[in-house]
């Protein structure tokens, strides 16, 4: 059964100041990749933290399949890789399974299989300080997708990487979506990233009416690196850029 994430009139402000999220209601459907695009400080990461269960909204409800218990039910990858430096890549990646007490061979084999798709199987016994930024992000991504939750939250996961590595990871992610079949909510301030990876882009602003604009991206998956030169891509980018300017 498909599980949707439902936001009902959620409200949040820091230190009782002007609300950053104000009365926001929305339903994130399963099976899609939705990108939330917005300027720095508009509340994108705060929203993801609330959906993950780390932050509680001051008022309103967030549920997944009518369940208010979000911690442990939604995977969340933050901007930094957050790999434990004292563990190998394999130990880091297996951390969610260890927490659940899953020591089965089939789960382990599944991790190894996915590590091949992500191209990090050769580095599985390395420590994080022996890896490049791109490899670290792939390891962190693998750790996120092996969790059993249906939804994955990605908070600017590629922001610290150079353009070439970022494009490589977009392509890996596009390939991987076929296998993992999970719903993704991606927060970013990069228009190209949002268009390349998502089925729908939401433009977000702070304060009242947070979700200002939504656009469906109908280009077929898996997308390749030359798609961002297509006229359709450029047209969407121009449109989203104008919408972002309006939100500023």
Partner 1 sequence: MLENLYNKLINWYLPILAFIFIIAIWQILSIMNLFEPWLLPSPSAIFLEFLDSTSFLLYHMSVTGYEIILGLSLAVILGIILGFSMTLSKVLERSILPYVIASQVIPIFALAPILIVWFGAGLLSKIIVVFLISFFPICIGVFDGLNKKNNEMENMLKTMGASTYQIYSLLKIKLALPSFFSGLKVAAVSSVIGAVVAEWIGSKAGLGWIMKVSGPLFQTERVFASIFLLSLFASVLFLSVKIIEKKLIKGVY
> Which residue ranges make up the site for partner 1 (CB under 8 A)?
49, 52-54, 71-76, 78, 80, 82, 84-87, 95-96, 98-100, 127, 129, 147
Q: Which is nearer to partner 1, 16 or 86 (CB)?
A: 86
Q: Which is nearer to partner 1, 10 or 97 (CB)?
A: 97
Q: Please list, residue by residue across 151-160, b when 16 or more beta carbons sit within 10 angstroms of its beta carbon and e when fewer do.
A: bbbbbbbbee
DSSP string, 137-179: HHHHHHHHHTSS-SEEEEESTTTTS-HHHHHHHHHHHHHHHHH
Q: Which is nearer to partner 1, 24 or 97 (CB)?
A: 97
Q: How far is the CB of 99 from partner 1 (least distance, A)?
A: 5
Q: How far is the CB of 161 from partner 1 (least distance, A)?
A: 18
Q: How far is the CB of 120 from partner 1 (least distance, A)?
A: 18
Q: How far is the CB of 70 from partner 1 (least distance, A)?
A: 8
Please name the helix (run of DSSP H) or strand (run of DSSP E) that holds residue 100, with its range, or none. helix 95-100
Q: How far is the CB of 72 from partner 1 (least distance, A)?
A: 3
Q: Which structure tokens are listed for 57?
A: 């909204």
Q: Which is nearer to partner 1, 82 or 164 (CB)?
A: 82
Please report, for residues 6, 43, 73, 74, 201, the alpha-carbon distance to residue 3 in angstroms, rounded to integers and kept in the order given: 9, 24, 11, 11, 20
Residues 6+ apart with CB under 8 A from 50: 10, 12, 21, 56, 57, 62
Q: Which is nearer to partner 1, 74 or 191 (CB)?
A: 74
């Amino acid at each position: 059964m498909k599980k949707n994430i439902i936001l009902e009139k959620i409200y949040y402000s820091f230190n009782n100041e002007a609300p950053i999220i104000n009365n926001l209601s929305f339903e994130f459907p399963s099976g899609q990749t939705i990108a939330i695009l917005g300027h720095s400080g508009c509340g994108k990461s705060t929203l993801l933290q609330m959906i993950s269960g780390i932050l509680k909204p001051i008022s309103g409800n967030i549920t997944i399949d009518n369940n208010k218990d979000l911690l442990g039910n939604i995977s969340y990858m933050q901007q930094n890789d957050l790999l434990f430096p004292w563990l190998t890549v394999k130990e880091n990646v297996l951390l969610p399974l260890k927490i659940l007490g899953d020591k089965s061979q089939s789960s382990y084999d599944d991790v190894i299989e996915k590590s091949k798709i992500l191209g990090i199987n050769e580095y599985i016994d390395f420590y994080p300080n022996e890896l490049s930024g791109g490899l670290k992000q792939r390891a962190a991504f693998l750790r996120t997708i092996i969790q059993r939750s249906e939804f994955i939250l990605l908070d600017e996961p590629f922001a610290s990487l150079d353009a070439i590595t970022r494009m490589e990871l977009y392509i890996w992610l596009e390939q991987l979506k076929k296998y993992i079949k999970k719903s993704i909510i991606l927060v970013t301030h990069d228009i190209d990233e949002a268009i390349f990876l998502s089925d729908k882009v939401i433009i977000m602003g702070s304060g009242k009416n947070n979700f200002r604009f939504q656009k469906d991206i109908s280009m077929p998956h898996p997308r390749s690196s030359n798609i961002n030169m297509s006229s359709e891509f450029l047209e969407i980018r121009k449109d989203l850029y104008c919408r972002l300017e309006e939100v500023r």
